[in-house]
Structure 1
Amino acid sequence: MMLAMGRRLKAIECFLRRWVSSRPDPELTALRYNVKRGSYAVPNDTHVAFFEKLLGPGGVITDSQECDAYNVDWLKIVKGSSRLVLRPRSTEEVSAVLRYCDERRLALCPQSGNTSLVGGSVPVFDEIVLSMRLMDRIIHTDELAGVVVCEAGCVLQRLDEHLSGRDLMMPIDLGAKGSCLIGGNVSTNAGGLRLLRYGNLHGNVLGLEAVMANGNVIDCLNTLKKDNTGYHLKHLFIGSEGTLGVVTKLAIQCPNLPKAINVAFLGLRDFKKVLETYRLAKGELSEILSSCEMMDRVSMDIAEQALGLKNPLASENDFYMLIETSGSQLSHDEEKVKAFLEKVMELGIVDDGTVTSDPSKIQKIWEVRERLAEAMSKEHYLFKYDISLPLSEFYSIVAVLKDHLKDCDVRYITGFGHLGDGNLHVQVLTSDYDAKVNARLEPFIFEYTSKMRGSISAEHGIGFKKAKFLRYSKDESAIELMRNMKRAMDPNGILNPYKVFT
């Protein structure tokens, strides 16, 4: 089933690439957001000659058309103007590149699969793009311990397929797994669809290797689950978005591949019922519960209209839930799922539902959830926010935004996301980029999130888009400590400037 899911995700990824390439490029980030360029050197022919000698054939890209692909994010909301892309093949080459750039104050933008949703993976000005795509070796797999060691440029889906043949799986699962790279996942501390069961990357990365701005290599490539020796330096790089160093190798704890998977798709009349269902799912399904997703009716309607996807239920409902279980015994799991569904139906909490353990049907149900962002972006400009909120306030922000934006030209406002870990994706759809809507949304949505004691970024990071709003989720004392760490590890500020901090 994992291979079939991989093929489906790859097909979705190919469609997304074709669709994104047909959309016009956005205005330059520096112009749209009025950013002032830092005091960095401008890349010149001398620099290019050095890199060509260092990296050899295929390691340097200067052609303007080829560079354009590295300057625009996949949603086409930000755009840089770099004319130099470097593609190292080893840690030693990354080290030499960073040392050379640091000595000459050349700014760098580390880039993985370029699937960032907050403008974190593309230049703002003419920063040199450091692409990790060629560092894609799977170095070692310990099947007994459940550990894979690999380079940062490995595609997430390829790692998953490699592990599935060894009865293992990656602990994260993302809609962009066909193109995102594991180094970028770690550098942004990506979450995904099954964080409820397997946790985030801070808990699953056992060790890593990273290169600092001055070229020094930090070897923390531990493969043990327990290592209580001093500072856990790996955590400095997980979620730092390439601002403290460039991750080059990783050791990741991988769970066993489940032998039994069940997916239930439920229809509910109000959000209160959604919360009641989740509470019961935690109690009734407990150890086999692997995912709990929620989407509203507008999200489902758009998916049907824009992509022709079929609602798994015959009835229309105001809210939908996707609940997945993963275990080792199909009969045991099916019995638990059946008992859970009977209970929520008898109590009148759930109005309609379907459940399946058939791989092809599971794929079709997951496809509805995974392609929601694609559906919403197909004919609209998408203001997309991923936030964490207390479950009691999880969906309230949608109604708040509808009232706040009632005098703006907005097509739809929707909410869906990972209910199991409190992560809501808020989508505001307009015909095109609308400066008025942007001004009404920011900082309002971050102020509201802060007021609810939530987080302005649940899994996508801060990047460029949220850098000036970091204060809504971090106290000034914490931000100052982060700045001090940045100054200590990258005193010339060459790594991913204009990101995370303003």
Structure 2
Amino acid sequence: MDKRWIRDGQVMDKRWTRDGQEMDKRWTRDGQEMDKRWTSGNTGLVGGSVPVFDEVVISTSLMSNIESVDELSGVVVCQAGCVLETIDQHLEQFGFMMPLDLGAKGSCHIGGNVATNAGGLRLLRYGSLQGSVLGLEAVTADGTVLDCMSSLRKDNTGYHIKNLLIGSEGTLGIITKVAILCPVRPQAISLALLSLDSFSTALATACRAKSMLGEILSSCEFIDASSMECVTKNLNLVCPVAAANCYLLLETSGSNGEHDQAKLEAFLERSMEESGVQDGTLASEPSRMSKIWQLRERLAEALLLEGYVFKQDISLPLTEYYALVEKTRLHLGNKVSRCCGYGHLGDGNLHLNITVPHYSHEVARMLEPWLWEQVAACRGSISAEHGLGFKKRNDIHFSKAASAVALMQQIKKLMDPKAILNPYKCIPDIY
């Protein structure tokens, strides 16, 4: 249709109409004009939800009902258009919480979270959505409503079809409803921030935290010196510990504040006795914890203030975790403004970020496929938690064997023979 839409027999050249009113590159919702913006959804990193050529965009924003909360089992049933933070706030009155926590929680939809098997800040404690989603409903390419809804924790009957849809990025079906097992909301939360002399010290400290804090450890986040400099300088935030080569952010959550505080204090005392741990602080007041969390959660915002950002979401063996940042820094040299790394040390997910004043074709060519080759060499994953989308679909072979990719293509062809569900995404073309 050559960049045009036809509606009711009328050609619409780059314009939309609603209720007879022309909308030139604008949307309205509830009577409010939205100039090139969305109020929710469509978040992502690899273009998984972005139309590329001739797609029709389906919005689930009106499917926003939270249908039920089982106060005995902690299972919430909700429609795909529910915003993640809204569900979490609703669960609070029942004493539960969402097992998923993301920086985009105020706008992302649970359907998209499930479709991408989103990870987040507390995967260390609560695992991925593959384990938390008990059931789902989806619409397949031929319009069939696929009912895989279940609120049972154990159901070992036949193939686990729901797991095919979780993480499929909308290429096998449109998720419309989910049932999620939610943990009890913790009564006591504490936060520790440590400054360390090296990544090897950070790794040893993280292992000690898993051993000494065990069941109450809910998050283990790594921040390197360059990332901390970026967020404090660009956003005028204050780091409450001494400057160092890297930092470790540890969160504990449990049901007994005194017990958890005692365990965390014992861990900190032991850590401060070890060489390489330079400084540390402990917080349990919500306002102070919020300020410390901003140092990690607002890093993406701070990086954008430096120009164009090449963002990479990868998963690596812990022994190779920071070595890749250092290799990339040497590889790119003075062609970039900043090369830094931060992420979820508890599960090996590294967010590698490279900033340049303006988009650079030279840097882009130097990064890919060189970076994917480095990841593949240590048997890592080129996408830890953001999927493949449009950007990485043809690079899947760096992380998956040819036989596995071929089977994915066969499944796609079986479930969506005309390739109408989120085309050009997730897996290489087969048509």
TM-score w.r.t. the length of structure 1 is 0.80
Look up the match of 1:85: none
Look up the match of 1:492: 418
Look up the match of 1:347: 274
Look up the match of 1:325: 252
Structure 2 counterpart of 1:156, from 68, 81, 84: 84
Task: Indicate yes or no: 2:134 matched with 1:224.
Answer: no
Look up the match of 2:293: 366
**Aligned-partner Cα distance in 1 for 2:248–2:9:** 54
CA contact (8 A) 2:137 2:146 kept: yes
Larger fraction in strand: 2
Task: Indicate yes or no: 2:6 matched with 1:44.
Answer: yes
Show the 5 A alignment for 1:24-173. 43-46=5-8, 63-66=23-26, 113-173=41-101
Look up the match of 1:3: none
| Deviation by residue 1:321-340 (Cα, 9 ceiling, x = unmatched) | 10000110000001100111
Change (3 A) 1:66 1:183: same
Look up the match of 1:7: none
One-letter amino acid of the structure 2 residue matched with residue 200 of structure 1: S
Task: Indicate yes or no: 2:365 matched with 1:405.
Answer: no
Look up the match of 2:14: none
RMSD over aligned CA atoms reads 2.4
1:348 to partner: Cα distance: 2.1
Task: Indicate yes or no: 2:395 matched with 1:469.
Answer: yes
1:62 to partner: Cα distance: 7.9
| Deviation by residue 1:334-381 (Cα, 9 ceiling, x = unmatched) | 110011111111122411000011111111111110000110012310
| 3-state SS of paired residue (1:478) | helix
Show the 5 A alignment for 1:391-402. 391-402=318-329
Look up the match of 1:281: 209
Change (3 A) 1:428 1:47: farther
1:71 to partner: Cα distance: 12
| Number of aligned residue pairs | 419
One-letter amino acid of the structure 2 residue matched with residue 491 of structure 1: P
Change (3 A) 1:141 1:62: farther
One-letter amino acid of the structure 2 residue matched with residue 286 of structure 1: G
Look up the match of 1:52: none
CA contact (8 A) 2:26 2:35 kept: no
CA contact (8 A) 2:408 2:427 kept: no
| 3-state SS of paired residue (1:183) | helix
One-letter amino acid of the structure 1 residue matched with residue 78 of structure 2: C
1:112 to partner: Cα distance: 7.1
1:427 to partner: Cα distance: 0.1
One-letter amino acid of the structure 1 residue matched with residue 248 of structure 2: M
Change (3 A) 1:47 1:301: farther
**Aligned-partner Cα distance in 2 for 1:217–1:64:** 35
| Deviation by residue 1:369-416 (Cα, 9 ceiling, x = unmatched) | 00001100123101000100000110001111112112x620000000
1:70 to partner: Cα distance: 11
Look up the match of 1:83: none
| 3-state SS of paired residue (1:128) | coil
| Deviation by residue 1:412-443 (Cα, 9 ceiling, x = unmatched) | 00000000000000001011111111111011
Structure 1 counterpart of 2:264, from 309, 316, 337: 337
Change (3 A) 1:370 1:62: farther
CA contact (8 A) 2:306 2:356 kept: no
Look up the match of 1:378: 305
**Aligned-partner Cα distance in 1 for 2:341–2:256:** 34
| Deviation by residue 1:7-64 (Cα, 9 ceiling, x = unmatched) | xxxxxxxxxxxxxxxxxxxxxxxxxxxxxxxx99975224899xxxxxxx88x99834
One-letter amino acid of the structure 2 residue matched with residue 372 of structure 1: L
1:501 to partner: Cα distance: 2.3
**Aligned-partner Cα distance in 2 for 1:129–1:375:** 31
| Deviation by residue 1:437-487 (Cα, 9 ceiling, x = unmatched) | 111101111110010110000001100111111110010100000000100
Change (3 A) 1:301 1:236: same
TM-score w.r.t. the length of structure 2 is 0.93
Change (3 A) 1:42 1:114: same
CA contact (8 A) 1:207 1:251 kept: yes
**Aligned-partner Cα distance in 2 for 1:352–1:397:** 26
| 3-state SS of paired residue (1:458) | coil
Look up the match of 1:80: none
One-letter amino acid of the structure 2 residue matched with residue 398 of structure 1: V
**Aligned-partner Cα distance in 2 for 1:72–1:485:** 36
| 3-state SS of paired residue (2:57) | strand
Change (3 A) 1:148 1:47: farther
Structure 1 counterpart of 2:363, from 426, 434, 437: 437
**Aligned-partner Cα distance in 1 for 2:281–2:250:** 11
Show the 5 A alignment for 1:170-319. 170-313=98-241, 315-319=242-246
Structure 1's unaligned 5+ residue stretches are 1-38, 50-56, 75-110
1:126 to partner: Cα distance: 3.2
Look up the match of 1:81: none
Larger fraction in helix: 1
One-letter amino acid of the structure 2 residue matched with residue 113 of structure 1: G
CA contact (8 A) 1:413 1:426 kept: yes
| 3-state SS of paired residue (2:212) | helix
Structure 2's unaligned 5+ residue stretches are 12-17
Look up the match of 1:12: none
CA contact (8 A) 2:139 2:145 kept: yes
CA contact (8 A) 1:112 1:132 kept: no
| 3-state SS of paired residue (1:131) | coil
Look up the match of 2:345: 419
CA contact (8 A) 1:156 1:182 kept: yes
One-letter amino acid of the structure 2 residue matched with residue 309 of structure 1: L
CA contact (8 A) 1:415 1:424 kept: yes
